[in-house]
Amino acid sequence: MIQEKRSRIRIGREADTVRAIMESKRMAHSLGFDDYHCQKIATAVSELVRNIIKYADWGEVTISPITEAKKTGIEITVQDRGSGIADLDSAMQDDFSSSGTLGLGLPGVKRLMDEFAISSEVDVGTQIIIRQWL
Amino acid sequence: MSLIGESHNSVVVDHRSAIVLKDLYDIRPVDLNLIDKVGSFMLPQVDNIVDEWYDWLGQQAEFKQFFSNKKILQHVQQKQLDYWQEFLAGEIGEEYVKVRRVTGETHARIGLSMTVFFAGMNIFDRLFSDSIQKQNFDENEQMLMSDAISKQVHLDTGIVCEMYNYVSNELIAGQNKALMEMSTPVTEIWAGILLLPVVGIVDSKRSQDIMNAVLNEIGKTNAKEFILDISGVAVIDTAVANYLIKITKATRLMGCESTISGLSPANAQTIVNLGIDVGTVKTTSTMMDAIDKAFKRQNLKIIEIKS
């Protein structure tokens, strides 16, 4: 049923974020998400890829259509090769920022999405998987 | 020419030295000696080879486009003779490499296709080989000579390709810059009221550009109202929201109230879900609403003229 294929985008410069945001929005739209959900997904991706630019040298975004039982959805994996997050509990709290910004990024993304999983290892990198169901 | 002197953008030319390039293409002193030797019998007949090459070029579609003018043709032919004289000197120094880079840039800028350039160099390579074979050398030496010529032809072609790449990157960088400059058109729509519609993606550089453009315009016009329309912005994440809040704070310090207009229902919900506190920032759903409110605050009114 799903015509969409997985798409992978390398993030190294600020200009690459545009491609990740646009591609996630395009795929969400083509899978049948409404405007609000497309906007939510694109915003979550924007939030996460900005973190790559800010905290890691480079990373990768994988956008895939997913199915489970009779459900259709979109899954986005954001992987970076940065310094990792030492204190995940703090990073997931509102108003916690290690760089003088609003400090709502990660908890905000978790609130936006149906599913959110994060794993991080110091000096290895961080991986975040988000999912949204139709 | 931008190759010499500083460039206005971040595009960098490959600055490999002659020594590094010779090493890359495996051109050894023995090769250069051979090329010098080839030069001794080739130089007197280079005119003929160039003529033969122009016979080939005359059959290409590009010929009319670039070389139909007699004066230009003569000039280019002279340049080509100079080139082969330098080529056959058996010396690849910094000056030689620099001249090749300038030549490459010229070819790229006039828009000659890389295919024709490549094919042209290939034809020259063949014409030289044919000419070597007509000489009285043993077969092994003929082969080594042709090899040496080929290596240098490849080195020269490589530099020219690099310059084609450089010129197109420079073009892209220039277009980006132009686009960025055009993308912050702060306009005074009425005395004391500024308007800026933002379209696309807002990143740190862009938000700084917007900030500078707006604050400068406020300083110039003494504006009291600034409307920032974000209906064309692709996403409002926490970073963009942070930039927008900072911009409104900075304009307020200069005595100018900001209104952010064009918040779509999707964006409004997303901002709330992200948990962003917009605080005292004035927002409206449409630009018209923002303009109307700004006029009211400035004691202005648009009235319909009844005839």
Written as one string, the DSSP assignment of B111-127 is T--HHHHHHHHHHHHHH
* pLDDT tens, residue by residue, B170-211: 888 888 777 766 677 899 999 999 999 998 888 777 888 889
Ordered structural domains, chain A, with CATH? 7-133 (3.30.565.10)
- Note whether B92 contacts A: Cβ–Cβ < 8 A: no
For the segment A25-42, the average pLDDT, to the nearest whole number, is 93
B242 CA: distance to closest CA in chain A (Å): 7
| Residues B202 and B164 grouped into a single domain | no
Q: Which residues of B220-244 are buried (b: 16+ CB within 10 A; e: fewer)?
A: eeebbbbbbbbeebbbbbbbbbbbb
pLDDT confidence of residue B5: 37
* pLDDT tens, residue by residue, B38-60: 998 888 888 888 888 888 888 88
| Residues B144 and B177 grouped into a single domain | yes
Domain range enclosing B238: 187-297
* pLDDT tens, residue by residue, A7-29: 999 988 877 888 899 999 999 99
CB B233 within 8 A of CB B261: no
Domain boundary among B181, B216, B247: B181
Q: How many residues does chain B have?
A: 307
| Residues B62 and B211 grouped into a single domain | no
* Chain A residue at shortest CA distance from B243: A101
Query: How many C-beta atoms lie closer than 10 Å to residue B215's C-beta?
Result: 18
pLDDT confidence of residue B6: 37
Measured between beta carbons, the chain B residues lying within 8 angstroms of A22 are 234
Q: Using a cut of 0.80, tell me whether the model's pTM lies above it.
A: no
Residue whose C-alpha is closest to residue B99's, from B160, B16, B39 = B160
Measured between beta carbons, the chain A residues lying within 8 angstroms of B276 are 102, 104, 108
In a domain, B126, yes or no: yes
Q: Cβ–Cβ of B267/A39 closer than 8 Å?
A: yes
Lateral strand order in the sheet of A71-80: A7-11, A59-68, A71-80, A125-133, A115-121
Q: Of A35, A39, A50, A101, which to mutate for an interface test with B (greatest number of B Cβ within 10 Å)?
A: A39
Q: Nearest by CB to B237, which of A18, A47, A107? A: A47
Q: Cβ–Cβ of B274/A21 closer than 8 Å?
A: no
Q: Cβ–Cβ of A102/B238 closer than 8 Å?
A: yes
In a domain, B291, yes or no: yes
A39 CA: distance to closest CA in chain B (Å): 6
Does the predicted interface ipTM exceed a cut of 0.85? no
Q: Tell how strand A115-121 and strand B282-283 pair up.
A: unpaired
